[in-house]
Chains A and B, each alone.
Chain A
Amino acid sequence: MGDPLFWHRLQFGFTATYHYLFPQLTMGLALIIVVLKAMGLRTGEARYNDAARFWIKIFGINFAVGVVTGIPLEFQFGTNWAKFSHISGGIIGQTLAMEGMFAFFLESSFLGMLIWGEKKLSPKGHFRAAMALWIGSWLSGYFIIATNAFMQHPVGYTVAADGTLQLSSFWAFLLNPWALGQYAHNMIAAVVTASFVVAAIGAFWTLKGIHPEQARLNLRTGTIMGLLFSLLVAFPTGDLSGKLVAKYQPITLAAMEGRFESGPRANLTLVGQPNVAQRRIENPIQLPAVLSFIAYGSFSSNVKGLNEFPEDQWPQNIELLYYSFHIMAGLGTIMIAIMGLAALLLWKKRLDTARPMLWILMLAFPFPYIATTAGWAVAEFGRQPWLIYGVLRTVQGGSPTVNAGHTAFTTLGFAGIFVVLSVLWLFLIGREISHGPVSHSQKA
Chain B
Amino acid sequence: MHELWFWLVAVMIAIYVVMDGFDFGAGILHLVVAKTNEERREVLGAIGPLWDGNEVWLLAGGGSMFLAFPKVLASGFSGFYLAIWLVVWCLMLRGISIEFRSHLEDGLWRRFWDGTFALSSLLLPILFGAALGNVLRGVPVDGSGFFEMALWTNFRQGPQPGILDWYTVLIGVFALVTVTAHGALFLAWKTDGPVHDRSRGLGMKLWGAVLVLWILSSYATSVVNPGIFHRLPQAPLGWVASLVFLAGLALVFIGLKRERFLLAFLGSGAFILGLLAASAACVYPVMLKSTLGPQFDLTALNASVGVHGLRTGLAWWLIGFPIAIAYVAFLFRFHRGKVKAAAEGEGY
Contact = CB atoms under 8 A, between A and B. Distances in A.
Contact of B317 (A82, A91, A101, A106): A101
B84 A104 contact: no
Interface residues on B, range: 35 or more
Contacts of B67: 89-90, 93-94, 96-97
Contacts of B146: 82, 399-401
B334 A113 contact: yes
B23 to A, nearest CB: 12
Interface string B50-68: 0011011001101111111
Nearest to A80: B78
B66 A89 contact: yes
Contacts of A116: 49, 342, 346-348
A392 to B, nearest CB: 13
B330 to A, nearest CB: 7
Residue among B65, B104, B145, B313 having the largest count of chain A Cβ atoms under 10 Å? B313
Contacts of A101: 60, 63, 316-317, 320-321, 323-324
A421 interface: yes
B91 interface: yes
Interface residues of A, number: 63
Contact of B81 (A68, A94, A402): A402
Contacts of A421: 96
A86 B88 contact: no
Contacts of B346: 116, 119
Interface string A384-419: 000000000000000111100010011001000100
A99 interface: yes
B52 A401 contact: no
Interface stretch (A30-38, A166-174, A195-203): A166-174
B92 interface: yes
A116 B50 CA distance: 13
A99 B63 contact: yes
A61 interface: yes
B4 interface: no
B53 A108 contact: yes
Given A68-B96, A100-B59, A167 B312 contact: yes
Interface stretch (B33-41, B238-246, B289-297, B303-311): B303-311
Given A421-B96, A428-B103, A86 B71 contact: yes
A116 B6 CA distance: 39
A89 B305 contact: yes
B73 interface: yes
A337 B89 CA distance: 42
B160 interface: no
A175 interface: no
B125 interface: no
Contact of B313 (A97, A99, A168, A409): A97
Nearest to B48: A112
Contact of A417 (B89, B324, B334): B89
A436 to B, nearest CB: 14
Interface string A148-183: 000000000000100010111010000000000000
Contacts of A72: 88, 92
B144 interface: yes
Contact of A102 (B70, B73, B95, B320): B320
B81 A79 contact: yes
A64 B100 contact: yes
Contacts of A214: none
B85 interface: yes
Interface string A103-114: 011101101110
A116 B323 CA distance: 23
Contact of B309 (A166, A402, A424): A166
A185 B55 CA distance: 30
A429 B313 CA distance: 40
B209 interface: no
B248 interface: no
B152 interface: no
B305 A166 contact: yes
B70 A68 contact: no
B331 interface: yes
A126 interface: no
A109 B63 contact: no
Contacts of A75: 77, 84-85, 88
B211 interface: no
A105 B103 contact: no
Nearest to B321: A101
B229 interface: no
Contact of A86 (B74, B313, B316): B74
A400 B81 CA distance: 12
Contacts of A428: 100, 103
Contacts of A96: 63, 66-67
B148 interface: yes
A104 B82 contact: no
Contacts of A79: 77-78, 81, 84-85
A289 interface: no
A423 to B, nearest CB: 12
Residue among A67, A105, A116, A409 having the largest count of chain B Cβ atoms under 10 Å? A105
Contact of B66 (A77, A80, A111): A77
B208 to A, nearest CB: 34
B95 A166 contact: no
A85 interface: yes
Nearest to B66: A93
Contact of B52 (A67, A168, A170): A67
B147 interface: yes
Interface string B81-120: 1101100110110011001100110000000000000000
A10 B229 CA distance: 45
B219 interface: no
Given A94-B312, A96-B63, A97-B63, A78 B74 contact: yes
Given A61-B100, A105-B324, A108-B53, 11 more contacts: A67-B95, A74-B59, A80-B78, A85-B70, A89-B71, A90-B306, A93-B66, A100-B56, A108-B52, A116-B348, A406-B81
25 contacts: A64-B99, A64-B100, A68-B92, A68-B95, A71-B59, A78-B78, A79-B85, A85-B77, A86-B71, A89-B67, A89-B69, A90-B305, A90-B309, A93-B67, A93-B68, A93-B305, A96-B66, A97-B60, A97-B64, A101-B316, A101-B320, A105-B327, A166-B308, A402-B78, A406-B81
